């Protein structure tokens, strides 16, 4: 049964955000008998609210509060995340991939790359291995723990055929946290084709209907949706003592806390720390290093669509259950550090293809006319598609700051997100375009379309882990260097981004953090 905690209860752990990091942390702590209050800025949906409609679900899930993009970002919509209980785990495709061993030590592996602020993580693959295993079991990840992989749809079969014809070896339907058979009280995938709109039957793992109900069942967890945290408060010693938030009615509340864990996402987490500036912390909480908000990463991304000789119907079936992993290695003979993955991607409907291929393609001049209609719209059923995702380089000036004058509906300064691509990113994308198009050419494709990045969805960094306090915001446990009872619990803590989709790593880090936090509470060290 869910608990209700008093605002004056200073024994609770307050978690800000209920996505992959915050939701997992809350569940893990509650299972250990630790009392948790989880504050989520967005509403709580249920399975009945999820429908197979891109437009309706985009409106229900998206964080549309104003943000300003500069540099290479869309000025009005620099990135995309969800504002709802469960966060982006409601939207995500389900791809659950471990970092490679060398990606934990990018600075050592890649060396000194001009313009990049590379660091080694203060943890490594061997330490993370048991937590990855626990995360995979929790999430029901295919290809692990005896769970079979999902079947491949036509989009996968096209990619598999072309990739193997080129000589690629590691090609399969991926490690996906989507049930191929009933598991953990959730049904098996029905191949509906709307994974990224939210899984209407609950076959895909999500904090919303997996971890939150389990946490509430412990009797040690309270979820407060529609609660926008505006400031972290502290005592005269600098210890975090609670948070101020606006409730569903717009009233300012203050919840006391023994520990505060911030899991807002890679914009809202640093924004909250900066907004929590005080006379003791004039540059924002946990920011003595000046690193809060810096080193924003979004992964190198791009898309290749291709017209095949016959119908593919690439919108049918699990959307991202298809992967080519051969290019994810580090091989600087290709002209760049790090690597990338090829993952199946559908078209998201004719309207989306019309806008993306016509308006964003590097080789299509417009979105109208008879030739365009014949080439793109009438070939929709014959299209295949892949998403290219790889490691981008952290840079100090890719960052989140606060606008000097503009405020949002909560009275908070609007966040400004700046991002410029590193030359390594550009070299990797050009290689990925070439190889992605080659896959489809080998499969018999007649025309390829190479699209630039969508607004960032793998948003990482901005409060990164570091061994040295002057190079990052938090240590290896996620506890901030400056304030031992203030934790970073989401993708903001990523030291580097690696190439892999980040959710599995966020969940594994949260499981590990819960263990370390519980031990510190037991020994009264925090």
Q: Are 461 and 392 in contact (CB under 8 A)?
A: no
Q: Are 427 and 378 in contact (CB under 8 A)?
A: no
Range of the domain at 119: 13-520
Task: Tell me the per-residue pLDDT of 6-44, one tens digit each, with 9 for 90 and over.
Answer: 999 999 999 999 999 999 999 999 999 999 999 999 999
In a domain, 384, yes or no: yes
pLDDT at 375: 82
At 68, is the pLDDT very low, low, confident or very high (cuts 50, 70, 90)? very high
| CATH code, domain carrying 270 | 3.50.50.60
In a domain, 372, yes or no: yes
Q: Tell me the average pLDDT across 171-192.
A: 98
Q: How far is CA 84 from CA 40, 249, 312, 514, 520, in A?
A: 7, 17, 34, 22, 30
First-residue to last-residue Cα distance in the chain: 28
In a domain, 172, yes or no: yes
In a domain, 438, yes or no: yes
In a domain, 386, yes or no: yes
Q: pTM (2 decimals)?
A: 0.97
Task: Tell me the per-residue pLDDT of 399-428, one tens digit each, with 9 for 90 and over.
Answer: 999 999 999 999 999 999 999 999 999 999
Percent of the chain with pLDDT over 90: 92
Give residues with Cβ within 8 angstroms of 260, minimum separation 6: 13, 14, 16, 232, 240, 242, 243, 485, 486, 487
Residue whose C-alpha is closest to residue 502's, from 310, 202, 309, 299: 299
Tally of structural domains, the chain = 1
Give residues with Cβ within 8 angstroms of 114, minimum separation 6: none
Give the span between the Cα atoms of 487 and 31, in whole angstroms. 19
Give the span between the Cα atoms of 38 and 12, in whole angstroms. 10
In a domain, 6, yes or no: no
Does pLDDT of 361 surpass 60?
A: no
Give the span between the Cα atoms of 23 and 326, in whole angstroms. 33
In a domain, 460, yes or no: yes
Q: How far is CA 278 from CA 55, 89, 254, 458, in A?
A: 41, 34, 17, 31
Residue whose C-alpha is closest to residue 255's, from 526, 4, 512: 4
Task: Tell me the per-residue pLDDT of 265-298, one tens digit each, with 9 for 90 and over.
Answer: 999 999 999 999 999 999 999 999 999 999 999 9
Helix (H, G, I), strand (E, B) or coil at 415: strand
In a domain, 5, yes or no: no
Give residues with Cβ within 8 angstroms of 480, minimum separation 6: 285, 286, 463, 473, 474, 486, 487, 488
């Amino acid at each position: 049964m869910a608990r209700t905690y008093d605002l004056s209860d200073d024994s609770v752990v307050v978690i800000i955000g209920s996505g992959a990091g915050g939701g997992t942390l809350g569940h893990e702590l509650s299972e250990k008998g630790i009392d948790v209050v989880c504050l989520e800025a967005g509403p709580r949906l249920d399975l009945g609210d999820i429908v197979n409609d891109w437009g309706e679900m985009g409106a229900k899930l998206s964080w549309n509060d104003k943000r300003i993009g500069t540099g290479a970002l869309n000025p009005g919509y620099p990135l995309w995340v969800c504002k709802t209980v469960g966060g982006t785990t409601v939207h995500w495709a389900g791809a659950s991939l471990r970092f490679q061993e060398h990606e934990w030590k990018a600075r050592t592996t890649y060396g000194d790359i001009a313009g990049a602020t590379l660091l080694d993580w203060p943890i490594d693959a061997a330490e993370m291995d048991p937590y990855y295993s626990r995360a995979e079991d929790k999430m029901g990840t295919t290809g692990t723990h005896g769970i079979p992989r999902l079947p491949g749809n036509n989009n996968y079969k096209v990619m598999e055929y072309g990739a193997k014809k080129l000589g690629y070896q590691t090609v399969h339907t991926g490690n996906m946290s989507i049930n191929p058979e009933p598991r953990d009280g959730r049904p098996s995938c029905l191949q509906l084709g709307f994974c990224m709109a939210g899984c209407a039957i609950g076959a895909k793992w999500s904090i919303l209907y997996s971890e939150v109900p389990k946490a509430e069942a412990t009797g040690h967890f309270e979820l407060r949706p529609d609660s926008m945290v505006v400031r972290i408060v502290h005592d005269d010693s600098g210890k975090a003592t609670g948070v101020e938030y606006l409730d569903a009615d717009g009233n300012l509340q203050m919840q006391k806390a023994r520990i505060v864990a911030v899991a807002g996402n890679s914009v809202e987490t640093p924004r909250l720390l900066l907004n929590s500036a005080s006379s003791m912390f004039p540059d924002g909480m946990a920011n003595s290093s000046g690193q809060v908000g810096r080193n924003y990463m979004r992964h190198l991304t791009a898309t290749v669509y291709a017209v095949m000789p016959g119908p593919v119907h690439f919108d049918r079936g699990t959307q991202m259950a298809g992967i080519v992993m051969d290019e994810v290695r580090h091989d600087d003979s290709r002209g760049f550090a790090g690597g990338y993955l090829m993952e199946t991607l559908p078209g998201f409907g004719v309207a989306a293809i019309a806008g993306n291929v016509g308006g964003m393609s590097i080789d299509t001049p417009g979105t109208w006319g008879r030739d365009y209609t014949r080439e793109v719209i009438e070939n929709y059923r014959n299209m295949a598609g892949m998403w290219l995702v790889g490691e981008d380089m952290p840079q100090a000036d890719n960052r989140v700051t606060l606008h000097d004058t503009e405020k949002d509906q909560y009275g908070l300064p609007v966040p400004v997100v700046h991002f410029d691509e590193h030359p390594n990113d550009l070299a990797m994308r050009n290689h990925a375009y070439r190889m992605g198009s080659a896959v489809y050419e080998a499969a018999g494709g007649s025309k390829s379309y190479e699209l630039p990045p969508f607004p960032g969805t793998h948003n990482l960094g901005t409060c990164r882990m570091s061994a040295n306090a002057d190079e990052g915001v938090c240590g290896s446990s996620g506890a901030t260097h400056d304030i031992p009872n203030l934790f970073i619990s989401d993708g903001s803590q990523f030291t580097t981004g690696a190439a892999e989709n980040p959710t599995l790593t966020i969940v594994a880090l949260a499981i590990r953090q819960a263990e370390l936090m519980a031990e510190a509470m037991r020994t009264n060290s925090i």
